[in-house]
Amino acid sequence: MPHRQLPQIAVVVIGYNDAAHVTDAVRSALAQGPAVREVVAVDDCSTDGSAELLARLAGAEPRLRVVRRAVNSGGCGAPRNTGLDAVTAPYVMFLDSDDVLPPGAVDALLTAATEERAEVAGGLCVRRELPSGREVPWQGRLYAERAVIARPARRPHLVHDTLCVNKLYRTAFLNAHGIRFPEGRFRYEDVVFTARVLAAGPRFALVPERVYVWHVRRSAERLSISLDRAGIDNWRARTEASRMAYEILLGAGQKELARAARAKFLDHELRMYARELGLRDTRYQRAWWTHTRAYLAEYDAADWTPDPTAPGRLLARVVLASTEPRDLPRLRELAARPARLLPPYTRAADGTPVWSADLPQVTLEPLLTRPVRLLPFTVDAQLRPRARGTLLRLRLHELYGRMEEACPEAVEVEWRMRDGGGRGCVRAAGAGSVAFTPALDGTWTADTTVDLAALGACGAGTWDLRLHVLFADSTGREVTAHAVTGAGRLRRRAVVSARHAVVLVQPYATHSGALALRVAPGARGVAAVVHRRLRRLID
């Protein structure tokens, strides 16, 4: 029998009050085939009948064992530790009750681990937005191709994948190093667990196959920890987990990984929460700003190199330089992906580019030599209704002379359906390449039209604007556009469609300030919009 078919894997499934989904999770683990020796389902003292449901499943499946905790832990770490202590198989994986393992996940990871003699094998996780079905790869760059990494320090980017669920671990390795999750009501336990794994210096095997489907239910009554970011306690927990990860890696002598973990915090966590800061009230903003400044004060000089104008580092330097929240709209755009640095572009008395006149200590001088493809330049986008269609006006801003130096010639316009959900119609071409025209104010403009009826022909959904700016040297860069509001902007509008009779289109700015369109075609789409508006009025 091939080694990948031997019963060597334990899958630890944890759940709390998730009777609606836990069956699918357990069955997805059992369906992996004979390589799965046991599925250990840990019920964290549920009160919704989950334990009874699992007990019935176990009665018909000898590979399933159910462990019920007597007291709810309040987190995910303790039940995972409970399951880990109960497994007998040589390898172990983790699965949350509201997610699933795709077919072939176990075989792909086990084959890699055994053939490469690796203590840890990791594969691609996809975030599946529900109910749309849109899938977004998690850390796809890391899993683009097969790789074997003798020591984590040789691939510092490993610190960016803090998930524990898309990996297979040699049980003896975890036990020998005493690697466990934080106990109790500890949020972001994955971050600390992953740091402990990396600190132990395991041999890693990476595979490009999909091995985990992470279900994202933003409309759920009880949001997951990663989605429930409205309270300041969530941010404090995030920074504490990041601090612990840094200290674990540094304490193990993994200085390069510790430095990478700090850089990852600036590029990922800080940018993510900064994009949402404008949505919070003043009290939250002040608390966030004060806590963030205190945390960033722990960074040393080496943490700001080699590029102090990289978006996350620049954002952090602005926070450190000001005692009060400021420039939130501008910071939101800087935190976008890709980053956009909105005007005004200020210079100090000696001509050095700076963040603003009252924050001259935040220098932007590295922007003068940074490659054009990495510059946080800004393209404004404004929709204007016209009798013969809808005009999309694009305006590219100068950035300390770098745009003039690169000589922007044209821009390619494309609308992409965000929630395609496998319907096939996920893109709508714009007018192809549209030439830029230099303006007297030092900007470049380009006008094209938007066929709103064509977007509606693909059904209800959200469309994101993507631009590909082309320069004179034949290089280019894909960017999103800053949504311009004000006089003349297009509000919700009804558009005549040969297929649907009428299409409702609503432009809006995303959390990061980019232009997007919500489209609702036909009588059913119109009715759904009216129903949602009435419900908001009633609520």
User: Which mean pLDDT values do the consecutive 10-residue runs of the chain (539 residues) have?
Assistant: 69 96 97 97 95 94 95 94 97 97 97 97 94 88 97 96 98 98 93 98 98 84 63 95 98 96 97 95 97 97 88 97 97 96 95 96 95 94 78 94 95 83 46 86 92 78 91 93 71 59 80 90 56 45
Q: Write down the pLDDT at residue 532.
A: 47
Residues sharing a CB contact under 8 Å with residue 532, sequence separation 6 or more, in sequence order: none
Residues sharing a CB contact under 8 Å with residue 159, sequence separation 6 or more, in sequence order: 194, 195, 198, 245, 249, 257, 260, 261, 264
> What are the residue ranges of helices labelled H in 187-231?
189-199
* Backbone torsions φ then ψ of 228, nearest 5 degrees: -85, 80
* Backbone torsions φ then ψ of 219, nearest 5 degrees: -95, 5
Facing residues of 100 across strands? 213
Structural domains in the chain?
Answer: 3-216 (3.90.550.10), 232-369 (no CATH), 379-538 (no CATH)
DSSP for residue 503:
E
Which SS3 state, helix, strand or coil, does residue 310 take?
A: coil
pLDDT tens, residue by residue, 183-200: 988 999 999 999 999 999
**Whole-angstrom Cα Rg for the chain:** 25
Q: Write down the pLDDT at residue 539.
A: 44
Asked if omega into 438 is within 30° of 0 (cis), the reply is: no
Instruction: Please name the amino acid found at residue 184.
Output: G
Residues sharing a CB contact under 8 Å with residue 488, sequence separation 6 or more, in sequence order: 382, 384
In percent, the amount of the chain with pLDDT more than 90 equals 74
* Backbone torsions φ then ψ of 254, nearest 5 degrees: -90, 70
Handedness of CA 207, 208, 213, 216 (dihedral sign): positive
How many CB atoms are located within 10 Å of the residue 362 CB? 18
Q: Write down the pLDDT at residue 425.
A: 45
Q: How far apart are CA 378 and CA 445, in angstroms?
A: 12
Q: Write down the pLDDT at residue 494.
A: 66
> With b meaning 16 or more CB within 10 Å and e meaning fewer, what string describes 41-63?
bbbbbbeeebbebbeebbeeeeb
